[in-house]
Structure 1
């Protein structure tokens, strides 16, 4: 994202987290999630009153920096939705006895927490005019739907409860923003978003579920990965068309998340191999008698110099047959490895061993190692990027986010590219 959109995204994420803390206590902040901030962004993007922002105090997850965060009805609705859905999920884990919830003391505490969250989320929803019962009903029906699904059924039967819940949450953002005419297109966008979210979870968990024998909607209905991808791509297109019918005050962040980023999530999820073989580590030695796939060599065949057998494929990090390393760069000793002493000292204060260790403890306790961008190395002072700031989007220095046909009739071009 561009710096402007990134700041707006963080404002909604932090705003939802603080709304959970202020209305429901510190423990409720654990249900903060990325999908939930979409609700807050939708309300603000449609609002006729503009942004509702305030300055929040230092937070360890922000590297102890101040921040401008969203407040008011937008993050409160996101908090209520997230809290109610989290309470329902915890209740399901308790009933199923999953993992640590199989222990009676843990189950007792979790049941009380889930009950309190459901009550608090419902009260917040009522204050905002949103009936959270539709969310609870959808989550509780999910188990019944899964039991009724059979091979040959459409996978959309299994995704229907999720679609219904997200559709109603999206639609109510139009009511809060004072634009009731947006409710129907947003209901459609929410339904399709719920479908994509459910299918992507199913695809990403497919390999593990097959190995464990766990229930998966793709396995249960016999739906192929290719069919799931088609459904996801159709849904992303449907969301794009539905958003064109929505009247926004500022559509930049919503369009970025629901069109560009959602499409990127689909492409990323289906670019990874799925199924039991996806979990095989190529670095491990093959089992006895294992052969690489490919046609067998003809009788009496002997490989020539540097020639691989038919069907042979190089493994990860393995050079092609006959490859020879080139000469080393000028001035570099081929027998010497570059170590830390060869690295020039960087910016910032230089510290000794004990002072650097003390500063490292401070950086760790304030979460700057994972969240700050940048932080200074406690010993060398070199600026470094927090672990959570790494991006695997693959776009490099360029950005092709504006290759959609709606780029010229909306305000999505805050990404910095010249479209």
Structure 2
């Protein structure tokens, strides 16, 4: 999936934070137990939401087991998710990771620009797809539905043009995520939940695809890469409307399903999706970095703010901060003093030395980041996994691109301390 669900640990609260980590560790261990150590690199936040959805529908007290000490947990034991939910999450993660690698191989992106690397990428993608199919068969889940939907993406994109609906482009993603979420009801023995959870998955796939397109829009324009928004002529106002509609549809569909304990699922698929939309479109409370000093938006760049009684239906313009203009524009490019500081609390400016002592001294954090070839990148993947950098080093460099990434267990996009008001009754939830 796309990694759009990134909850701040302060917003989760102690109990849901433990449940979140139980599903994260359960997914990681399920990948290791069924498919080997290397498969653990496909562990992702959105995949573990599948495991959480299965547990939310299952009888209380089931689906957990004790796990021994792990470096990613600070060498502490823990109760982790276990059974069909974690294995289904692993299956979905492998299918989507296989599709992503295959897509990069076909496009010749990044490390796969080299012929030798493309050969390795094809073998890895094929292996992950075969492993996912094997585990899916054990669970009674036909992964060919997911594979067919993902492979249809290229054909759909080729047929899309100016004036086409962007929803035609998101349909394969919607189908794949819809079937994955529907299978959670089958595993939990809740046949009445199949239809509403299929709708939840379908709308989640739409929202994830659109948010991914918005985040990549400027980079795709600069590189000339294909983007569903530019290809179909969809502006940001319409993209925001579709995202808000999808989030509302997910909220309503969840009401139609029956759960044993839906607190974590509700937080992930209702509250965190709202946060993801705000973060992507740059709402004022999403803590995005400010534009460079002296920059002003050009006339007509944004729709005018909504005026009460004006009859306008503006769901985006009133919230949009000006984006960073391209290099060469007045005030554009990299602002004086280096790149903008990260919104994360306590993060140093990228031009200053970052964490990199002892086992984390390699790979180094450098600015601007520099990429690595296939061999060095693969070595970095294994070394960073073995030294817990993906989870605990914040930030850490991407193994191939060198770009700075947030640590899995330290991601926080809210300006809060050890406690957050969202643990109480101030989150404004009207859908309990």
Cα distance in structure 1, aligned partners of 2:428 and 2:280: 20
Unaligned residue ranges in structure 1 (runs of 5+):
296-312, 318-359, 374-385, 408-419
For the 8 Å contact 1:170–1:189, the answer to whether it is kept is yes
TM alignment of 1:7-406, pairs within 5 A? 7-48=18-59, 50-271=61-282, 282=292, 361=358, 367=388, 371=392, 389=410, 391-394=412-415, 397-400=419-422, 402-406=427-431
1:31 deviation in Å?
0.6
1:84 deviation in Å?
1.3
Could you list the structure 1 runs, at least 4 aligned residues long, displaced by more than 3 angstroms after superposition.
278-281, 291-295, 362-370, 394-398
1:393 deviation in Å?
2.1
TM-score, scaled relative to structure 2: 0.69
For the 8 Å contact 1:44–1:50, the answer to whether it is kept is no
TM-score, scaled relative to structure 1: 0.71
Which region of structure 1 is more displaced relative to structure 2, 150-159 or 61-70?
A: 61-70
SS of 1:150's equivalent? coil
Specify the structure having the higher radius of gyration (Cα): 1
1:167-204 CA distances to partner (integer Å, 9 max, x unpaired)? Answer: 00000100000001100000111111001100110111
1:95 deviation in Å?
2.3
SS of 2:39's equivalent? helix
1:41-72 CA distances to partner (integer Å, 9 max, x unpaired)? Answer: 01010013643212222222222222221111
How many aligned positions are there? 328
Cα distance in structure 2, aligned partners of 1:11 and 1:176: 19
Unaligned residue ranges in structure 2 (runs of 5+):
1-11, 300-330, 337-356, 362-385, 395-406
Cα distance in structure 2, aligned partners of 1:368 and 1:108: 28
For the 8 Å contact 1:59–1:66, the answer to whether it is kept is yes
**What is the CA RMSD across the aligned residues, in angstroms?**
3.3
Which region of structure 1 is more displaced relative to structure 2, 105-114 or 235-244?
A: 105-114
SS of 2:429's equivalent? coil
SS of 2:421's equivalent? coil
